[in-house]
Amino acid sequence: MQVGAPAPIFRSIARLSAPGLALAAFQTAVSIADTHYVGRLGTEPLAGLALVFPLVMLLQMTSAGAMGGGVSSAIARARGAGNEAAARRLAVHAFVIALVVGLAFSLVFLAAGAPLYALLGGTGGALAQARAYSDVLFGGAVLVWLANTFAAALRGGGSTAIPAAALAAAALVQIPLSGALTLGWGPFPALGIRGAAVAYAISFGVAAVIMGACVWAGALRPREGDWKLEWRLFREILRIGALSSVSALQTVVAAIILTGCVGTFGTAAIAGYGVGIRLELLQVPIVFAIGQALVILVGTSIGAGQAERARRIAWSGTLASMAVCLAIGLIAALLPALWIALFSSDPGVHQAGSLYLRIVAPFYPLFGAGMALYFAAQGAGRVGLPILAGTARLVVVAAGGLLVVWSGAPLAWLFAVIALGMTLFGGFAAVGVHRTRW
């Protein structure tokens, strides 16, 4: 796919982002519904959900944003250079990576999940609920990896509509199925928190089947000889995907440390923090939609030798992401009770969740900027400095969070540390992209 006369940048970003932004509405509904259903079971299940949340973040961020970005970037650059055969072979290698890493996720977290949740402060009923949810969800990790990898391949091939439609269809399955299996609607058994995990795995299985069929029916369908595996093609994906996974791991390690720190303030604080941080999760698919457009447009432009246009695309997408996150952050900071009330009526949960949103939500634009620039850097194949921005955030959050706990400072100080981490993440990512030669 050679690049012809370039379309206006914002129009190109909007066209490629639109399906993902529509999908974000479905994913928002899924997140709200799951948390609402689990919240009806009580504070302990809600706290259990919060304990598992960092590892669910890791599963999604590595499969969709990190390795998925590596897949999209590699395929987009191959197509930008007019090498369709390389694009098909890269899709095959991406499928192999998804199978291997997805199974590895299951093995690792089925074994290590329970000790980790206990380390994060999970005790009694909250710990039991976390284990019940985690074991089912991570048992189906390979389905998540396959779905997100097929979606990344299709995006790299230039289609954002098909992945969005498939994942939206999966969301339409997950929302009612989660409620039915969690709360026992009609003929369905009341599985409690396990029901939400079963629905999660089934929905990604549906998405994987749909998108796998689309890959097979489209331009990326492997031909004779494309199934031959070569290290150089694995390296083309992994040099971006594996390095980007370091960024995802840093984000999750920071979330794990913070969850452990919040856990010292009690079960209600963990639940309130989990509800508050879920609003950040809801921004991820929105920024991800813009970010995946940046991966495609920047990657294609770099493949065609148009580095200056690639930079303009990166900064335009970053401004768009910041605007969206600013709107969400202002509403959340001014009216936090509107969000918290969707999930719990516990006064302790309301107090902790509202405190979190008042302090952290105004800094969401910097969170959006860091994410958008990270995706743009993936498209350019230059993710080193944006990843260092994540390292800076991790160091500040870890050191600051532990200092707050050890000094006996109030919970508000811990949330201020989170806000400082977001500031460093967005600011350092901007400096990194500005200084990196594409």
3-state SS assignment for residue 2: coil
- The yes-or-no verdict on residue 215 having pLDDT over 50 is yes
- Residue-level pLDDT at 384: 77
Report percent pLDDT > 70 for the chain: 98
Q: To the nearest whole number, what is the mean pLDDT of the chain?
A: 90
- The yes-or-no verdict on residue 6 having pLDDT over 70 is no
* Residue pLDDT, tens place only, 344-387: 888 988 999 999 999 999 999 999 999 899 889 888 878 777 78
- The yes-or-no verdict on residue 4 having pLDDT over 70 is no
Q: How far apart are CA 125 and CA 113, in angstroms?
A: 16
Report percent pLDDT > 90 for the chain: 56
- The yes-or-no verdict on residue 400 having pLDDT over 90 is yes
- The yes-or-no verdict on residue 251 having pLDDT over 80 is no
- The yes-or-no verdict on residue 109 having pLDDT over 80 is yes
Is pLDDT larger for residue 204 or for residue 263?
204
Q: Measure the CA angle with vertex 201, ends 169 and 171; round to 5°.
A: 20
Mean pLDDT of 219-236: 93
Q: How far apart are CA 215 and CA 75, in angstroms?
A: 13
- Residue-level pLDDT at 295: 83
The amino acid present at 124, given as its one-letter code, is G
pTM here is 0.75
Among 173, 178, 242, 175, which Cα is nearest to 209's? 173
3-state SS assignment for residue 124: helix
Cβ atoms of residues 110 and 139 within 8 Å: yes
Cβ atoms of residues 278 and 54 within 8 Å: no
- Residue-level pLDDT at 436: 83
- Residue-level pLDDT at 7: 58
Q: How far apart are CA 13 and CA 318, in angstroms?
A: 11
Q: How far apart are CA 225 and CA 222, in angstroms?
A: 8
* Residue pLDDT, tens place only, 300-331: 888 888 889 899 999 999 999 999 999 999 99
Name the H helices within 140-160: 141-156
Quick one: tokens of 134?
A: 């985690």
Q: How far apart are CA 227 and CA 225, in angstroms?
A: 5
Among 15, 105, 14, which Cα is nearest to 57's? 105
Instruction: Give the residue carrying structure tokens 């399955």.
Output: 173
3: confidence class by pLDDT, cuts 50, 70, 90? very low
Among the ranges given (2-6, 116-120, 334-338), the one the predictor scored with the smallest mean pLDDT: 2-6
